[in-house]
Amino acid sequence: MTDVTRQLFLAGLAATALTLASGAAFAQSAAKPGAKAPDFSVVDVDGKLQKLSDYAGKTVILEWTNHDCPYVRKHYNSATMQTLQKDMAKDGIVWLSVISSPAGEQGHVDAAKAKELTKTRDAAPASILLDPKSQLARAYGAQTTPHMYIIDPKGTLAYAGAIDDKPSSSASSLDGAKSYVRQAVAELKAGKAVSEPATKAYGCVVKYAPVS
């Protein structure tokens, strides 16, 4: 390895470490279950400005996603995620998929590609939010794909964490998996407090865009 190559390699490692450290720092300061969910104004794939305040009085689910992530593919290739999206829609829940991968990072897509992925996978989110500057990811402290957040009708963050209790990218792990999302939604519908409001999310690391 030449001196120039070594310097470039070390610079790349430093940049990656800084990105991950930035994400971890925002995770520490992000809203926690039981607190008011951060409002946001994010453009979706149709160029429409989406705000959390637009959905006051409704349950909202945020799903951080990255189509190149094997953990995400596990849930989409098995139709687990699509089924969950459609079941939530039947209950009047607003499902917003969020793509926070900045340009040049794994999972980054433009609006056209995001729409194509949604169609080919038969996904059914209410909308797809594009967050290449990581503003929404920072507000919520999103760390992985998938990373799930549930906001109750009063605007309180009711759940944050993993989609289920099987932190694996293997499709076989879906057998007998406990869906934290379904559990939390069922408890909210029953007027109960969410019994497990925070779990450890698993998946591919969300890359944060540099703070400008």
- At residue 171, the pLDDT reads 95
CA distance 191 to 21: 38
Whole-number pLDDT of residue 13: 36
d(Cα 189, Cα 117) in Å, to the nearest integer? Answer: 31
pLDDT of residue 30: 72
Classify 7 as helix, strand or coil: helix
Cβ atoms of residues 109 and 201 within 8 Å? no
State the pairing for strand pair 144-145/204-205. antiparallel
Q: In the prediction, which pLDDT does 69 show?
A: 97
Cβ(201)–Cβ(166) below 8 Å: no
pLDDT of residue 2: 53
User: Looking at residue 154, what is its pLDDT?
Assistant: 96
Cα separation of 101 and 104, whole Å? 8
Could you say which residues of the chain have pLDDT below 70? 1-29, 212
- pLDDT at 31 (0 to 100): 78
> What are the DSSP calls for 101-125, one per residue?
PPTTSTT---HHHHHHHHHHTT---
The domains located in the chain, with CATH, are 3-205 (3.40.30.10)
Q: What is the pLDDT of residue 28?
A: 55
- Position 135 scores a pLDDT of 95
**pLDDT value, residue 20:** 44
Amino acid identity, position 184: A
Question: SS3 for 70?
Answer: helix
Helix locations, 30-174, DSSP H: 70-77, 80-90, 111-120, 135-140
H or E element: which one contains 158?
A: strand 157-161
- If DSSP codes are grouped into helix, strand and coil, which group holds residue 164? strand
